[in-house]
A and B are shown apart, each in its own frame.
Chain A
């Protein structure tokens, strides 16, 4: 019973490149959340998606960032034209329903922008 799978674990990009982070939720979960973790800032909510729909993107920067959760395949967090300030750990979580009373987290993707 695999948990939430994120890949890659580490991603290095140069300024201006694109970063794609993938997240496969737990089996049977159709609700996915993306969080960003910076040292001394805790976890910051970015976006909540259900299959094929973005439900809440209030925490996601309006430019360069996008997220999707297609009918088939993993959820993707895409960062275009990365800058050094995008360096962080990005965590994906999933839940069985909208109530999100228990989130299951992946091990994260550490993005480093050179």
Chain B
């Protein structure tokens, strides 16, 4: 069964500093990988995805993520954190086989950017 691990419940970072939110995955075959963000009392919003190609994927709001096949990781990064980045971040995975495949989400990491 596929799964996603987000080892940190919370990440604290000072405004202006780089941030990393960690994610590792397990799936049969090649993965499709995703990051979503959830602001309080809102649904999840798509940030970025890795399907194939360049291991470094750029997404919304200046975020990027690096796919590492050997480490089965897909960490989310941003060079300079903003207070407005404070939110709950979810990593997700699905198998790459064509058509429908179930998307499995991690438990989420709360990012707190300190002014």
Q: Which of A's residues lie within 8 Å of B, judged by CB?
A: 4, 6, 33, 35, 40-45, 48, 55-56, 58-59, 91, 93, 98-108
Q: Which of B's residues lie within 8 Å of A, judged by CB?
A: 9, 32, 34, 36, 41-46, 49, 51, 90, 94, 98-108
Q: Which of B32, B44, B104 contacts A101 (CB 8 A)?
A: B32
> With a CB–CB cut-off of 8 A, which chain B residues contact A40?
9, 107
**Given A100-B94, A101-B49, A101-B51, A91 contacting B43 (CB threshold 8 A):** yes
Contact yes or no, A42 B90, CB < 8 A: yes
Q: How far is the CB of A5 from chain B (nearest CB, A)?
A: 11
**Given A43-B105, A45-B104, A4 contacting B46 (CB threshold 8 A):** no
Q: How many A-B residue pairs have CB under 8 A?
A: 63
Contact yes or no, A102 B49, CB < 8 A: yes
Report, nearest first, the 5 A-B pairs whose CB atoms are least far apart: A105-B43, A42-B107, A43-B105, A98-B100, A105-B44
Contact yes or no, A107 B42, CB < 8 A: yes
CA distance A98 to B100 in the complex (A): 5
Q: Which of A59, A100, A106 contacts B101 (CB 8 A)?
A: A100
CA distance A45 to B90 in the complex (A): 14
Contact yes or no, B43 A106, CB < 8 A: yes
Chain A residue with minimal CB distance to B48? A102
**Given A42-B108, A101-B51, A105-B43, A56 contacting B103 (CB threshold 8 A):** no
